[in-house]
Amino acid sequence: MRPSRFAAAPAFALVALFAVNAAADPAQWSREWPDTDFSQTTVEFSEIRSGGPPKDGIPAIWEPTHIPVSQETRLDDREPVLTYEHPGEAARAYPVRYLMWHEIVNDVVGDLPIAVTYCPLCNSAMVFDARLDESVLTFGVSGKLRHSDMIMYDRETHSWWQQAVGEGVVGRHAGARLKQLPGWMESWAEFRERNPDGLVMDEPDWRRAYGQNPYVGYDSAPRPFLYLGDDPPHDINPLARVVRVEDRAWTFERLREAGEIREAGLVLTWTPGQASALDSRLIAQGRDVGTVRVRDEQGSDVPHDIPFAFAFHAFFPDGVWMLGD
């Protein structure tokens, strides 16, 4: 969660590795997390590492402010936003320039509480229904990583949650699953043109370098940060973007070449115009990675994610790689 220049990442990662190996101990974690039930877990504690910042060192957002699309003047047309459209409500855009520094936004759309999440190290961007059974959960950033993916925690039970799959991994809610909602990454221009009456999350009241990428060059780095797992199969670059729908993955490369793919009851499309948030120092200057939409055959948006290939392989080791002929 930490590096700003990945040319120096290997040395930083080596130092961090020794530190986190020593810290992978619930007896030590319980001092910082006295309300977490470490007797309940679905994962090996040895897989959990410190990302650098402590609990809430990356501050999640609660009760965000939204402004009309027409009032937003900070965003460049190519900047990525995470879009959520709820029936009967104005569409909402959550700029990655803010998610980069906060990783979680707790919001309410209509009467639906949601958690808008983004893990830069995995490029995983998902919107979850924040309700579990009869409870409403609110989420913060734990400062811990597993397979280089953010571990969230809920403020109600202090259970730990794996962001990439929306699953409780430690604590009272270990084994529980959040419902993923249809959300997608697109350029600010795409959102604005389609939703002239939409809303966009306003700049948070924090001192952060919004619009800048603290992970310069990450998505062209040779290795993911603090990831010790196996590389993806089929000679796929670990930091290549893929489209994940449940336990299937399509590479951006294949989709970009085809423009449209119809498989497994889905229609996947790719269009140019969206900047990578993890390339240049200024997000707006990132290389074009394009926008993906995933719909079913009736045209309805389908929940999906756009992680790096290593993250799909780590969390879905038996997943299906949709490589075509």
Residue type, position 30, single letter = S
pLDDT exceeds 60 at position 2: no
Find the farthest-apart pair of alpha carbons in the chain and give their distance in angstroms, rounded: 53
Q: Which of 192, 195, 194, 165 is nearest to 177 (CA)?
A: 165
pLDDT at 16 over 90: no
Q: How far is CA 167 from CA 138, 147, 220, in A?
A: 14, 14, 29
Interval 167-217: pLDDT, tens: 999 999 999 999 999 999 999 999 999 999 999 999 999 999 999 999 999
Closest alpha carbon to 306 in 81, 101, 116, 126: 126
Instruction: With beta carbons less than 8 A apart as the criterion, state whether 124 and 147 touch.
Output: no
Question: What integer pLDDT is reported at residue 226 of this predicted model?
Answer: 87
